[in-house]
Amino acid sequence: MAEKAASVAIVGGGIGGLTLALALRERGIGAEVYERSAELREIGAAVALSANGSRVLAGLGLRDDLAACSAVPTELVYRHWRSGQRVAAHPVGAAYEERFGGPYFGVHRADLQRILADACGKVHLGRRVTGLAADGGKYRLEFADGTTETADVVVGADGVHSTVRAWVDDAPLARYSGASGFRGLVPVEQLPSLPDPGAIQFWMGPGGHVLHYAIGDGSVVNFLAVLDEPDTWESESWTEDISRDQIDAAFEGWHPAVREMVAATTLLQRWALFGQYPLNRWHRGGVVLLGDAAHAMLPHHGQGANQTIEDAVTLAECLARDSRETALKRYEKLRRPRTRAVQRSSWVANDLLHLPDGLAADARDLALGQIDETLGWIHSHVC
């Protein structure tokens, strides 16, 4: 019988790489994490952990640490862009946890990274992977500093611009969605017009939407404000600098709470929203992809990190159970359809959230009243 993988090298110390290292070590498999940055830095501002992700992290013993620095939304509310009228609402808090088996946490990304890194122990910082080669039955990683390491399995948890991905698949990298976003962290006291600041809320309007939720002790709101513009994105960078006048003008006519929120941001940038084409395969030999490297998705279901966490625990379980080859095949079989469905649904969500007032928007609002049909299949998933 083929042997189980004895050593795993994880490229990338983001949410996926760190969660995988923890899950592997818990199962008695040696894992080393190689991160290019000299220190673990947060990407973006905050993250919403839904039950499908928080349940996994709780299983790794992190629930209390996470709860100590997370806000639990009171409700999930959908609102009309101009009037602010509630078009659908669902309780979150205890009712959500009872329904989906895990809490909903709004957490600052720096806190999540710190909790994962502390639990992981050693992460090799300042180790940028530049090359990869087969070496007998193993794989040799080459680093920018001229050093090398070998392992039975190499995991590309190196994010949307993955270096490891080129070894596995030659799919085109990313596709501009036609939408871009503004983001920010705003103290609640600067949002006098905001109803229900403790809720996770979508404001839906013609050609755009705003999503926000409180993080930490609930005194700060994290928001993402999306518009269907520009039509094309030519720049190589995924961000462009904008002026305060541009951001103020972008949501003219929207409810005062939305205008206060975007006006208060200190991040004067526009982020292009890209989705990734599905890959033809997720592994080649003993090299395998995880998280954004495999399935970067639009943020409209708040699932990029949550799907990455699901990947990590599934891969760890497969490697603990089977030989390397069987484990990687099984992992891909379990994870590809699920992540592709969430990817596709996040893409469709862009159009649904941006409908102009009218019959189609009325039908959407009715459907949003049924959380089991809209989000239940994502949040209730057990790995």
Verify binding: residue 302, ligand FAD, rule CB under 6 A: yes
Structure tokens at 349: 């969500």
Q: Is 11 in the site for ligand FAD (CB under 6 A)?
A: yes
Q: Per-residue string for binding with ligand FAD, 64-83, x by CB under 6 A?
A: --------------------
Stretch near ligand FAD under the rule CB under 6 A, chosen from 11-19, 197-205, 318-326, 332-340:
11-19
> Which residues are known catalytic residues?
213
**C-beta neighbour count of 179 within 10 angstroms:** 24
Sheet holding 105-108, edge to edge: 46-49, 105-108, 70-71
Q: How far is the CB of 291 from ligand FAD (least distance, A)?
A: 2
**Are the C-beta atoms of residues 116 and 62 closer than 8 Å to each other?**
yes
Q: Which of 120, 157, 214, 352 is the binder for ligand FAD (CB under 6 A)?
A: 157
Chain residue at closest Cβ approach to ligand FAD: 14
Task: Tell which one of 54, 177, 276, 306 touches ligand FAD (CB under 6 A).
Answer: 306
Q: Which of residues 347-376 bind ligand FAD (CB under 6 A)?
A: none
What does the block give as tokens for 129?
A: 């992977």
Tell the smallest beta-carbon distance from residue 15 to ligand FAD (Å): 4
The β-bridge relationship of strands 46-49 and 153-156 is unpaired
Binders in 161-200 for ligand FAD, by CB under 6 A: 163, 183
Asked whether the beta carbons of 108 and 216 are under 8 A apart, the reply is yes
Helix axis angle, 304-321 relative to 51-59, nearest 10°?
Answer: 40
Nearer CB in complex with ligand FAD: 164/352: 164
Query: Site map for ligand FAD, 25-64, x if CB under 6 A?
Result: ---------xxxx-----xxx-xx----------------
Task: Tell me the backbone φ, ψ of residue 19, rounded to 5 degrees.
Answer: -65, -40
Of positions 80, 99, 128, 329, contacts ligand FAD by CB under 6 A: 128
Least separation in angstroms between residue 83's CB and ligand FAD is: 26
Q: Tell the smallest beta-carbon distance from residue 3 to ligand FAD (Å).
A: 27
In the complex, what is the shortest distance from the CB of residue 356 to ligand FAD, in angstroms, rounded to a whole number? 26
Nearer to ligand FAD, 33 or 204 (CB): 33
Question: Of residues 102, 197, 208, 304, which one binds ligand FAD by CB under 6 A?
Answer: 304
Min dist CB 2 to ligand FAD, Å, is 28
Q: Which residue ranges make up the site for ligand FAD (CB under 6 A)? A: 11-17, 34-37, 43-45, 47-48, 128-129, 157-159, 163, 183, 291-293, 299, 302-306, 308
